[in-house]
Chains A and B, each alone.
Chain A
């Protein structure tokens, strides 16, 4: 296609519209969260922090926030080492069963989340893990594992295992050579995997809808319930904060990637 052909102009126009469609809903939340109006009017009549005040002053929202942060942090602390160990084993071993195991670790991405959620609910109901913190954390570890495994496997692909062999031939044992030679070189993909697991746990809604309850309800479950009843601009304030947190984490992850 030549530079200014009509087809080219149509292509630019369609793409621009699609990009607006993608971005607009994410951006529209911000002015609404700072609006003084009870009902949604656009543009907002005047600037106000009342929805942020409502969020921070409400014990139920604060408790939910605490649950979300706790779950996300614990998820990262458990899923990252498990995922790194598994990715390392998958990349090093030539056992045929490893291919099957690799596929199994990606199952959370394949099985529709609603099915996983209902299944976990039935199992938890039998063993008494419904509406508990350990139950919530374990489910999120499972959902976060694929992100760690995929990220670390990609990191290990550009790492030459011969380096670790050298370290071992110089007398280091396998564990020490991993921590001294391999880990520093795949550090950025480990961090990225951990951050993805954190975001996944922070945003997870559907499993939480089924298995969380009482004082252990994460932010997303309370938001979902609130949205079903009425559209309260407090949700806009929370959404803005959640989105800001996600973006900062993604920027952090991509900055680490560039460092090497």
Chain B
């Protein structure tokens, strides 16, 4: 049996365990042990500002995705089978388009001479084009778009398991529909909320393509800090230390969340 897993395991060991180990080593060793890289990450302005910005954006993206995703998942759960399949298909449809294609689409929609600005000017609602992209706004819009399916699917899976009789029981005991929702449905859907939020938040922490293409150079997220340190400045030690801190943040989040819900629930979606 071990022989059967060994090819796959070898690939994983060589191409993810070894590279991540290498990063960890490189972050503390440069002609001798040093914590200089970590000192820089934690004390220098650009580093902790970028970490703070990344956490802020991830938090915003997660909350927006929850606000947009919950009603959709709720509706897909409440409607008859045919409709719910249609809704879920529309949700996963963008899932299978390349992230790059979607970043391009948002550039087309949001830029100064883009579709949305032209439309708003046509309606004469605005006289000057709005700055919708090459800033944090554009990054958030596109990132929410890409991560929304990761919110809707676990929400829907959890809502599916809530027995309808509970809602009927609530109604038969005289509770109004909104009261049964708040007291019965909402609390029971919380594991799905936690699973969806975890996945969206964690994926957003490491996002690279949308901030790079839609952030206009001002929205420097942690992933861009890593790539710039490698590509532009040849600061391999600093890049490695940033990567290690990012990875530890992700693992810490997974660890905390696993205390409340099974991680299969978070990961088993895609």
Contacts and interface: CB of A to CB of B under 8 A. Distances in A.
Interface string A1-38: 11001010001101100110111111011001000000
Given A40-B114, A119-B243, A224-B100, A142 B12 contact: yes
Given A2-B177, A107-B16, A118-B23, A89 B4 contact: yes
Main SS of chain A's interface residues?
helix
B11 A145 contact: yes
Contacts of A112: 202-203, 205-206, 223, 246-247, 250
A203 B108 contact: no
Contacts of A24: 109
Contact of B98 (A86, A88, A139, A242): A242
A41 B102 CA distance: 18
Contacts of B68: 14, 18, 21
A220 interface: yes
B184 interface: no
B105 A101 contact: no
A95 B1 contact: yes
A93 B203 CA distance: 32
Nearest to B181: A1
A205 B209 contact: yes
A73 interface: no
Interface string B1-29: 11011011101111111111011001000
Contacts of A142: 11-12, 15-16
21 contacts: A2-B177, A14-B72, A15-B72, A15-B75, A18-B72, A22-B145, A26-B101, A29-B104, A95-B1, A112-B202, A113-B206, A118-B240, A119-B19, A119-B20, A120-B16, A122-B19, A138-B14, A220-B100, A228-B212, A239-B101, A243-B101
A123 B20 CA distance: 10
A41 B117 CA distance: 11
B118 A23 contact: no
Would you list the 6 A-B pairs with minimal beta carbon distance, nearest first? Answer: A112-B206, A119-B19, A25-B105, A89-B4, A86-B8, A142-B15
B190 interface: no
Given A5-B177, A22-B91, A108-B12, A205 B113 contact: no
A26 B102 contact: yes
B246 A239 contact: no
Contacts of A192: none
Interface string A83-95: 1011011101101
Interface of A: 1-2, 5, 7, 11-12, 14-15, 18-19, 21-26, 28-29, 32, 39-42, 81-83, 85-86, 88-90, 92-93, 95, 97-98, 101, 104-116, 118-123, 138-139, 141-142, 145, 147, 149-150, 199, 202-203, 205-206, 209-210, 220, 223-224, 227-228, 231, 235-236, 239, 242-243, 246-247, 250
A119 to B, nearest CB: 3
A98 B3 CA distance: 12
Main SS of chain B's interface residues?
helix
B103 interface: yes
Contacts of A7: 177-178
B158 interface: no
B87 interface: yes
Interface of B: 1-2, 4-5, 7-9, 11-20, 22-23, 26, 68-69, 71-72, 74-75, 87, 90-91, 93-94, 96-109, 111, 113-115, 118-119, 145, 148, 177-178, 181, 202-203, 205-206, 208-209, 212-213, 223, 226-227, 230, 236, 239-240, 243, 246-247, 250-251, 254, 267-268, 270
B108 A19 contact: no
A25 B9 contact: no
Greatest chain B CB density within 10 A among A22, A39, A250 is at A22
A114 B204 CA distance: 11
Contact of B20 (A5, A111, A149, A206): A111
Contacts of B75: 11-12, 15
A211 to B, nearest CB: 11
A21 B94 CA distance: 10
A239 B145 contact: no
Contacts of A228: 212-213
